Chain A
Amino acid sequence: NAGVTQTPKFQVLKTGQSMTLQCAQDMNHEYMSWYRQDPGMGLRLIHYSVGAGITDQGEVPNGYNVSRSTTEDFPLRLLSAAPSQTSVYFCASSYSSGEETQYFGPGTRLLVL
């Protein structure tokens, strides 16, 4: 099993550009989530999904969109990137809920100029 994979590993964007961060898992997990990690701030939940077709907002959802059309994939979209979105983004998954052990991807480092 590859576990949780994220692409790209590193991305540079200009302010106003859009992009999609990809996340996939091959563990048949129902629960998937996105976090951003900033220095001194820990990880903050952006959006999460408890299954295909179901998504909900986390702590810091503004500026980000998600959808969950399949169990395996949970892409994160930035429609108009801002410098404040410069961060490291982690995707995670668990068997069925947020109360279970989360399995994290390796992260995507995003720089918005």
Chain B
Amino acid sequence: AQSVTQPDIHITVSEGASLELRCNYSYGATPYLFWYVQSPGQGLQLLLKYFSGDTLVQGIKGFEAEFKRSQSSFNLRKPSVHWSDAAEYFCAVARDDKIIFGKGTRLHILP
């Protein structure tokens, strides 16, 4: 069965430190891959997406993600986090009009 795994439920980093959020998927074929962010009490907003081509994709707010087919991974990175990055982050995969979300990683920022 198709699945998306975000192994870290919570991550805490200091402001200015680098960040990597992990995402692994299980799918028969390479799906479309997304990262969304959800601020408290809000809906979700797209950070970036991968369909094909260059495996390193750039998104909004200084985020990037790298698709690694051999590892079935699509990890999200940011070189220097800001206090405003505190939120919940969701990895998602889509294929045949159905979307599966991971359970999310909540990011906490230390001042």
For residue B77, CB closer than 8 A to chain A, the reply is no
B46 contact set on A, CB distance < 8 A: 101-102
Stretch at the interface among B68-76, B78-86, B90-98: B90-98
A10 to nearest B CB, angstroms? 11
For residue A27, CB closer than 8 A to chain B, the reply is no
* B interface residues, tally (CB under 8 Å): 24
For residue A58, CB closer than 8 A to chain B, the reply is yes
A66 to nearest B CB, angstroms? 14
B-side interface mostly: strand
| A102 with B95: CB separation less than 8 A | no
Shortest Cβ distance from B96 into A: residue: A98
| A42 with B101: CB separation less than 8 A | yes
A42-B101, A42-B104, A45-B99 known; A99-B32 Cβ under 8 A: yes
Shortest Cβ distance from B42 into A: residue: A106
| A98 with B97: CB separation less than 8 A | yes
| B94 with A99: CB separation less than 8 A | yes
Alpha-carbon gap, A101 to B95, bound state (A): 13
For residue B108, CB closer than 8 A to chain A, the reply is no
Alpha-carbon gap, A56 to B32, bound state (A): 20
Residue of A41, A48, A101 near B98 (CB, 8 A) is A48
Interface 1/0 per residue, B40-82 and A, CB below 8 Å: 0011111001010000000000000000000000000000000
Known: A48-B98, A99-B97, A107-B43. 19 other contacts (CB 8 A): A40-B9, A40-B103, A42-B4, A42-B90, A42-B104, A43-B90, A43-B101, A44-B101, A45-B98, A45-B99, A45-B100, A50-B97, A58-B98, A59-B98, A90-B43, A90-B44, A99-B95, A102-B34, A106-B42
**Can you show 5 pairs from A to B with CB atoms below 8 A apart?**
A31-B97, A40-B103, A42-B101, A42-B104, A102-B44
